[in-house]
Amino acid sequence: MLNFNVEDSVLWSDDALLVVNKPSGLTTLPDGYDPEAPHLRAVLEPVFGRLWIVHRLDRGTSGVILMARSAQTHRILNTMFAERRVKKIYHALVTGEPPWTEKATRVTLLPDGDRKHRTLVDLQKGKPARTDFRVLERYGRYSLVEAHLHTGRRHQIRVHLMIEGYPIVADSLYGSEKGIYLSELKPNYQLNTSEEKPLLGRLGLHAWSVALEHPITQNPLYIEAPYPKEFRIAVNQCRKYC
């Protein structure tokens, strides 16, 4: 079981809506290949009661996720997502340094397109997908990139960054399993143990923020999810030594 403090993860809570900062390594719903593995709803429902899932994050992705606390809120949020009235921003640590500052990527995607269950580019069977990217910080070997989703295809950000030639760090499906190591960043680094552990060894993708009208009150709601420890350390070390 992940070391996951439920109370510390809460970003917003009222009678209609629960918003939490999901840790990397936890699925949103039960895993079809490992139904006994812990998942987000099973961890949260004993504390908050019944929850309705509105959208998902990949197991390796951390960050902000919305859940409805009533059937009415669930229906409203589903409509808002379908009408693209929910704005989601992601931050990704990618390999390489894009020459552009901003870029809109539009490529048709086909989810679950091969035996590895990857999302593939398919101009005939795929569905339109658009992601707007903006480079936030450059570190030479790596970069911190913001991604604004206009559509919600499975693995969309991961595939679009791979297509652009800047795959997300530690993305074994669309790039390489390799994470970020301090020895790559710090000049004259000397390892004190037999094996160096990565600063960031999991998928370098974090759901940073969500903006929407509250489904019941209709008041504007903007919520940010702080970086988890390993993501924050990797970014800080990249800033320090690059």
CATH of the domain at 45: 3.30.2350.10
pLDDT in tens for each of the 242 residues of the chain?
Answer: 466 788 899 999 999 999 999 999 999 887 766 667 788 999 999 999 999 999 999 999 999 999 999 999 999 999 999 999 999 999 999 999 999 999 999 999 999 889 888 999 998 999 999 999 999 999 999 999 999 999 999 999 999 999 999 999 999 999 999 999 999 999 888 877 678 999 999 999 999 999 999 999 999 999 999 999 999 999 999 999 98
Inside any domain, residue 81 = yes
**pTM exceeds 0.85:** yes
Inside any domain, residue 158 = yes
Inside any domain, residue 1 = no
Give me the active site residues, please.
58
Q: Which residues contact 128 (CB under 8 A, 6 or more apart)?
A: 106, 108, 151
Answer whether 144's CB lies under 8 Å from 235's CB: yes
Comparing CA positions, the residue from 90, 238, 62, 234 lying closest to residue 152 is 90
User: Residue 206 belongs to what domain range?
Assistant: 6-241
Inside any domain, residue 177 = yes
**What's the pLDDT tens digit per position in 207-229?**
999 999 999 999 999 999 999 99
Comparing CA positions, the residue from 58, 151, 143 lying closest to residue 105 is 151
Answer whether 106's CB lies under 8 Å from 130's CB: yes
Domain count, the chain: 1
Inside any domain, residue 181 = yes
Answer whether 39's CB lies under 8 Å from 31's CB: yes
